[in-house]
Amino acid sequence: MIKTQTFISVLSVLFFFSLPFSSFSAPPSSASVCESFVQCFSDKTKSPQAQINKNVFSQTNPSYSSVLRAYIRNARFNTSSTPKPTIIVTPRSDSHVSAAVICSKTLNFILKIRSGGHDYEGLSYISDKPFFILDMSNLRNVSVNLADQTAWISAGATLGEVYYGIWQKSKVHGFPAGVCPTVGVGGHVSGAGYGNMVRKYGLSVDYVEDAKIVDVKGRVLDRRGMGEDLFWAISGGGGRSFGVVLGYKIRLVPVPSTVTVFRVEQYMDSGAVDMVHKWQSVGPKTDRNLFMRMLIQPVTRKKVKTVRATVVALFLGRANDVVSLLAKEFPELGLKKESCEEMTWMQSALWWDNNENATKTDPKVFLDRDLDSASFGKRKSDYVATEIPRNGIESLFKKMIELGKIGLVFNPYGGKMAEVAEDATPFPHRKKLFKIQYSVNWKESSAEIERGYLNQAKVLYSFMTGFVSKNPRNAYLNYRDVDIGVNDHGVNSYKEGEVYGRKYFGKNFDRLVKIKTTVDPGNFFRNEQSIPTLPRKA
């Protein structure tokens, strides 16, 4: 815990750009570092320096600030005191990525890799040590091949761009991934990736057939070139520990021409406790075509503090069928036909992104990357293996009212998820009933307000200890949370990495460490929660 607090405090106040240097020499200036990098980059890519300046941004470049801020998604890490990169590289080709890796390694700088910038703790664009950012947002190609029902999707593409690219070619194909369209492919898929078809089809990585990566030597490798171990590792173990993921070849999945969405709300004094309690036995076990997310939020209603529980659902079928199904399985929900809306799968993706008039919205809105629009936030995660008793739900509601703002999201598993072996990919949590996301957002830029909301998250997380997975208490990599442990990659790197590593990956952590030690023995690709190498034998 002390280590984590130190990390957070350092990120809040540290602001320097020097290279690691010996006690006998002065640190080189940012200008000389940039000059050395540009020369190296020019040599490796055989490009004139004037051309390179379009893709390499030093702190003196007029565009530096806008390029940095574009993909900062958490305003907590967008302050004047937040550590800034010495250089930002925005590659436009595989050779640019390869050169960025080699030149960063040569200059002994940490390389932070950012695709969509949705890493909740900002680990893709901040560091307490001198660093560069490799911003993948220009590598955004989505190439759909309906002949074999696959697509190559570049790491810098957003999920919205992927869905739009598929929709342009087919109205009856989709891809099982997240509901937020501005999330980048690189982080989402390499961290396993899930969405509202997870019960029908499983995780995003379950549909990855090939990949391209730049390794620590700067080589561009496909699945055959990297080997099955490394391919396995970047299919759920996070790409940034092993190299720079350039893209994935994914298999598309069939979706019906008509799907159904609905939203049902209940309050604490009118059935919410019974609805949430019963949801635990229905959500993970019902027809796998049905995904029912549960949102639980403290609210004020008629001047009284209460809790609102909301079921938000996607059914891969017609409204009559899901109404009939839930009348039998989940009468506590009280679903009525008029609460349901039938639409295409693409329209349902727009609806899940809070486009209320989804059937009238142009899908082109998914091409909007919503740049430089960060709000303040904190996320944490848990997994539930056995149902929470009714009195536990009641006590949870009371605790949430007491805290005031922190909310919860329950995501059901079951279906396809439970049928895949836990070691098929690095993601080990497939047999759980559901995943919990702790969620709080705020708009005020105030250190005191931030401390209050961060404390709410920690208090509720502590309160839930008895209801969630144990030994270890599991967490989801793509809901990044530095509270569960960080790594400064010193002599205790393995021990520090094991703390959070086993929470994210369970028994699969051991295989990830072995692969990491083989492919990146010098631990160049590292961040505050990356996979460590095996400790060196004395």
C-alpha pair distances (Å), 92 with each of 98, 131, 134, 179, 215:
11, 20, 11, 27, 17
The catalytically annotated residue of 479, 494, 500, 504 is: 479
Residue 39 has which token pair?
């020369």
The whole-angstrom separation of Cα 164 and Cα 175 is 11
d(CA 326, CA 331): 6
| Residue 538 to residue 145: CA distance in whole angstroms | 52
CA 292 from chain center: how many Å?
A: 20
Nearest of 71, 80, 79, 186 to residue 125 by alpha carbon: 71
Spatial distance between the Cα atoms of 367 and 344, rounded to a whole number of angstroms: 18
Q: 194 an active-site residue?
A: no
Confirm if 178 and 192 have CB atoms less than 8 A apart.
Answer: no
SS3 283: coil
Give the up-direction half-sphere exposure of residue 498: CA atoms within 13 A in the CB hemisphere: 10
Residues in Cβ contact with 481 at an 8 Å cutoff, skipping those fewer than 6 apart:
120, 121, 379, 380, 381, 475
Element (H, E) at 292: strand 290-301
Nearest 10 degrees: Cα torsion 325, 331, 335, 337: 50
H/E stretch holding 455 reads helix 447-463
Adjacency order of strands within the sheet including 259-267: 340-343, 259-267, 304-315, 290-301, 407-412, 434-442, 376-384
Helix (H, G, I), strand (E, B) or coil at 153: strand
Query: Of 433, 482, 63, 494, which is closest to residue 284 (Cα–Cα)?
Result: 433
The amino acid sitting at 303 is K
Quickly list DSSP for 168-233.
HH-SSEE----S-TT-BHHHHHHT----TTHHHH--GGGGEEEEEEE-TTS-EE-HHHH-HHHHHH
Q: Which residues contact 451 (CB under 8 A, 6 or more apart)?
A: none
**Residue 85 preceded by cis peptide, ω within 30:** no
CA 479 to chain centre: 6
Amino acid at 149: Q
* In 59-109, beta strands by DSSP E: 87-89
The residues that are catalytic are 479
